[in-house]
Amino acid sequence: MTSVSHWTETWWVLLFVFVSCGDAVPDTFTVSGPDGPLSVWMGSSVFLPCSVSPAFTDSLELRWHRPEKYKTPVLLYEKQQIQEQSTDPQYRGRVSLTGELEKGNVSLKLENVTLADSGEYVCFVAGKKGYEQARVYLIVKAMGTHPVLSITDGGSGHMHVSCVSDGWFPKPTLTWRQQGDTEISQNFDTTVDAQGHVSVTSQLLLSPSMSKWLSCSVGLSEEERRESRILPYISDIDTVNELQKQLQTKDQSVWIVLFIVVFILLLFALAGLVFLYMKVLELKKKLKETDDGVEVPLQPNKDLKLDPPDDTKQHPAGKEGILSFSLSPKTSAVPMEIRWFKGKDCMYLYKNGQGKGQGSYNDRASLCKEDLENGSISLRLKNIQNEDVGNYVCQVIISKYLENALRINYSSYTKGCVIYPTECNIDEASRREMEASAKSLGSTCEAANTGEECPLVPEDRSV
């Protein structure tokens, strides 16, 4: 009894040591972000960089969130996928990961940036025994309108000049300058609309001066500014005349530019009409060739495929052999024209629900309508023999054509015929000969229709 108690106590001690040691092993990883804030123009896209070292693993959770919105994150990645149902609706459809998580890249891509996206973001990565995070600060900028300058009477020989510009973010600066680039120190007022855009307004009271312009520039920096100018006062008649001449010259330039633009548009319209006219002529030529008996070559059908059988078929000599293809996707072949060629000679033609064989194949070859309805084009060849050895091409035509080939070989070992798929390579000369052979067989069938029809495709054969 003492021995059993001793081993039991020893087992619990070992288990406690094992669990304690396991809990003492932390997940060791670091998370790093950019050194300073990022800036981006409103309406564009931006990458918020963040990386995990060593590389991100499936056991880690990635959470991009705003500082006060941990439970409604911008993006949440856990269980090896993005969890969209718990994210902030404001960001859905606009955020994604840039990829390469296995390399530790957990950067966030934010698209169609708005002013509301300005501020701090937290890149939070958690493991089973701890977490690390990095912070990214985003500054969204918006370029405002060109300043609008206006002049009103200020009394006592003075005048008010106002400058207004809207749609900026963050708060811009406003600078007045006179001719000679002399800066005028003046305060300006700002207002913020419901969307967060900043508008700036400033006014000057000054005495008019001869031919001196005044400018107002608004911007976020020296490189990101908009400027407008105005001539506050003009009293000299010569200056007025000069301005009138400039305006007349400007009007003439506008008319010249307008004329050039209209002329170019007319040229494009004329070129379009010529192109359409040539297309109509080409179409009429094709229709005339068709009426004259010269048909336009058919084009390959890219919507359907003619699939061969999966394996080689063996048939004893003297028995019935079957050469078969199937339409993919499955489509009824009953309304289609089907041609079977041995070499370049059309040995069997099916058209308008009627089938006819050429020469010795007239009584030996047939198609089954039930097979055709199921998309199977199976040519049944009675009394298959050594003379039937060769390449057989099947053409299926419905406005465009499909084609594929099988080969019949005679095996002296099995005393029978083997049917298997082969390559279908037809040059233009051979195709013309095959077309002529098919039309010859078709005309024979049409001539027979003067009193009695060509043999109908048997409907009582089993597949």
| Separation between Cα atoms, residue 408 and residue 379, nearest integer Å | 13
Which one, of 325, 340, 319, 323, lies nearest residue 382 by Cα?
319
User: The tokens of 196 are what?
Assistant: 């967060």
Angle at 65 between CA 59 and CA 69, to 5 degrees: 120
The average pLDDT across 226-252 equals 63
* Residues with Cβ within 8 Å of residue 393, at least 6 apart in sequence: 340, 341, 403, 404, 405, 424, 426, 434
More confident residue, 58 or 4: 58
| Separation between Cα atoms, residue 449 and residue 446, nearest integer Å | 5
Assess whether pLDDT exceeds 50 at residue 23.
no
Tell me what percent of the chain is helix, strand and coil, each rounded to the nearest 5.
Answer: 25, 40, 35
Burial of 197 (0-12, 13-18, 19+ CB in 10 A): middle
**pLDDT attached to residue 80:** 84
- Angstrom CA distances, 139 to 46, 48, 119, 130, 162, stand at 11, 11, 6, 30, 30
CB 406 within 8 A of CB 392: yes
Pairing label, strands 46-48, 198-206: unpaired
**pLDDT attached to residue 111:** 94
User: The tokens of 291 are what?
Assistant: 């009426």
Residue linked to tokens 């040539």: 278
Q: Render pLDDT for 122-178 as a digit per residue (tens, 0 to 9).
A: 999 998 878 999 999 999 999 889 999 888 877 777 788 899 999 998 889 998 888
Angle at 28 between CA 32 and CA 48, to 5 degrees: 20
Assess whether pLDDT exceeds 60 at residue 453.
no
Angle at 142 between CA 137 and CA 146, to 5 degrees: 155
| Separation between Cα atoms, residue 219 and residue 177, nearest integer Å | 14
* Residues with Cβ within 8 Å of residue 395, at least 6 apart in sequence: 338, 339, 340, 341, 401, 402, 403, 434, 438
For all residues of the chain together, what is the average pLDDT?
Answer: 81
Beta strands in 5-74 (DSSP E): 30-32, 38-41, 46-48, 51-53, 61-65
Which one, of 332, 360, 437, lies nearest residue 393 by Cα?
437
Assess whether pLDDT exceeds 50 at residue 234.
no
Neighbouring C-beta atoms of residue 419, cutoff 10 Å: 23
**Could you tell me how far CA 87 lies from the centroid of its own chain?**
26
pTM above threshold 0.75: no
**Could you tell me how far CA 151 lies from the centroid of its own chain?**
52
Cis peptide before 316 (omega within 30 of 0): no
pLDDT band at 98 (very low <50, low <70, confident <90, very high): confident
Q: Render pLDDT for 368-399 as a digit per residue (tens, 0 to 9).
A: 878 899 889 999 999 988 888 999 999 999 88
pLDDT band at 348 (very low <50, low <70, confident <90, very high): very high
More confident residue, 213 or 167: 167
The average pLDDT across 100-113 equals 90
**pLDDT attached to residue 31:** 93
Burial of 430 (0-12, 13-18, 19+ CB in 10 A): middle
Q: Render pLDDT for 392-438 as a digit per residue (tens, 0 to 9).
A: 999 999 888 889 888 888 887 777 889 889 898 889 999 999 999 99
Phi/psi at 368 (nearest 5 deg)? -105, 125
Strand partners, 328: 305
Q: Which amino acid is at 27?
A: D
- Angstrom CA distances, 72 to 25, 147, 190, 235, 410, stand at 31, 41, 34, 66, 75
| Separation between Cα atoms, residue 52 and residue 30, nearest integer Å | 6
